[in-house]
Amino acid sequence: MALEKATLDNGLTVYNDRIPGARNNDVSVFVPYGSVNEQPGHEGVAHVFEHCVHLETDDFDNRTALRRYATAKGMMTNANTYYTRTIYYANGLELEPNMHYLSQILQHTHFPEESVEHELKAVRREMTTNLDSIDRMHTITSMDAMYGAPYGRSVGGFHDKIFFDTDTLKDLHDKYYKLGQMALIVSGKAKLDEVAQLASRYFEADQDTTQHANTPPVVAWGEHHRTGLVREDSNNVRMSVGYPMSSEFRDTFNERRLEFGVALSSLALSCFERMRYDKGISYDGSIYAMTFNHPDAWTLSGGVTTDKENIATAATIFDEIYSKRGADFEDSELQGKLAQFKHAFARQLLSTEDRVDSHVNKLQSYREPTDVRKVMRKLDTTRVDDIRRAVDEIADYATVTQQYTHLTGTRDAIGDVERIIDQSEIA
């Protein structure tokens, strides 16, 4: 059965991906409100919502009651916030408890003052803990170098400024958690009419139908092309080399994501082999597309962990990889990568969780979800020459696009850069 879509009278968009023979239902609600949508002064509130909507609701006096309900119904629940969205999960054998749970935390949540205060302490602790992760801070500051705030800001906001009173939380929640902007995604045994019926029963149309645009700021590429983050406690240097995607290249990339995905995977393997086996300067080394922060702030990137003596060698290897042409690859290499992609997608065909994740990934980049079986059919018709063409286009784009290099390590290891980024600017 194909992926089906419906828009309910209450404003909710529903995507139902039925798997005949499935015994469970994976249910997610996609809320198009993430860290890039936050207005100045509200940095981190999207992440705070993720933590606080489960503290108390109309039907459940406290978080313990809500958790016990989920356990009694055999449900697995979770949530996560990212740059462009927040996702709330409720997965279990039966559909109705999932709908009840999700409708409560999304439309009938309370923000009790004492509970919120305690949860905010946990959020601040989470954020300060993240500051200890060199890889995380390197990624955030490298995005800041290319695009600036809020694209280069941690999803959690500024850890020392996460203080929200309950009235502010309620007002912002009412403003941005609009049913007409959300999408319900169900994968499993349920049929569309059952999903629609339960979603109509449990989710209520917004009394205030004002739709607030969750449009993030315009992207502007950074003016500094070689930047650094000083971490004197590091014994390594983390290096990223990136090429921000223009809107034209991003559109081409999206139209032919499978071809570019296989092409990048092939380039990544070449990069890894050069870094680790040919030169012996690292245990990693990869090429990838970073598309997690916003559709207008995507980049082709390369990353490696090495030491200061090998930074120049790593930079040369990245230049070599981004110069590779499709003709440089043997048929067997590209056919093997195609086979790996087919295997990965074939596994998704029977996985309710993977099917939901696939649809969420589309929505968070402002694209319409696609039946994974259509993706599989597209893979079956993709040929080696299609991959070669994508490799050529990556090389052509890198040739005419300004390269951004970002280094994390000791001040001595970073060397001469145009800008040292203070992590307090973005965390």
CA 168, CA 153: separation in Å to the nearest integer? 22
- Residues facing residue 13 across a β-bridge: 7, 183
* Half-sphere CA count of 360, side-chain side, radius 13 A: 27
Contact 276, 285 (CB under 8 A): yes
pLDDT at 1: 61
| Residue 426 confidence (pLDDT) above 70 | yes
Question: pTM of the entire structure?
Answer: 0.94
CA 4, CA 223: separation in Å to the nearest integer? 45
State which H helix or E strand residue 355 sits in.
helix 352-364
Please give the average per-residue pLDDT across 153-163, as a whole number: 90
Selection from 215, 369, 359 nearest residue 296 by Cα:
215
Neighbour-count burial of 308, counting CB atoms closer than 10 A to its CB (0-12 exposed, 13-18 middle, 19+ buried): middle
CA angle 253, 186, 180 (to 5 degrees): 80
| Residue 292 confidence (pLDDT) above 90 | no
State which H helix or E strand residue 371 sits in.
none
Place of tokens 């305690």: 118
Please give the average per-residue pLDDT across 144-148, as a whole number: 92
Enumerate residues 6+ apart whose C-beta is below 8 A from 317: 271, 274, 275, 279, 285
Q: What is the CA radius of gyration of the chain?
A: 23
CA angle 262, 145, 246 (to 5 degrees): 45
Percentage of the chain modeled with pLDDT above 90:
82
Phi, psi of 26 (to 5 degrees): -100, 120
Burial 339-362 (b: 16+ CB within 10 A, else e): eebeeebeebeebbbbbbbbbbeb
| Residue 214 confidence (pLDDT) above 80 | no
Neighbour-count burial of 40, counting CB atoms closer than 10 A to its CB (0-12 exposed, 13-18 middle, 19+ buried): exposed
List, for residues 324-365, the tens digit of each pLDDT value: 999 999 999 999 999 999 999 898 888 999 999 999 999 988
List, for residues 172-203, the tens digit of each pLDDT value: 999 999 999 999 999 999 999 999 999 999 99
CA 43, CA 168: separation in Å to the nearest integer? 13
3-state secondary structure of 423: helix
pLDDT bucket at 212, cuts 50 / 70 / 90? confident
| Helix-, strand-, coil-residue percentages of the chain, each rounded to 5 | 50, 15, 35
Contact 44, 36 (CB under 8 A): no
DSSP state of 76: E
Place of tokens 């993709």: 382
Please give the average per-residue pLDDT across 117-143, as a whole number: 92
| Residue 390 confidence (pLDDT) above 70 | yes
List, for residues 233-272, the tens digit of each pLDDT value: 889 999 999 999 999 999 999 999 999 999 999 999 999 9
pLDDT at 181: 94
Please give the average per-residue pLDDT across 135-145, as a whole number: 92
Percentage of the chain modeled with pLDDT above 70:
100
Please give the average per-residue pLDDT across 66-83, as a whole number: 96
Task: For residue 87, give Cα distances in angstroms to 63, 90, 146.
Answer: 19, 10, 27
Q: What is the mean pLDDT of the chain?
A: 94
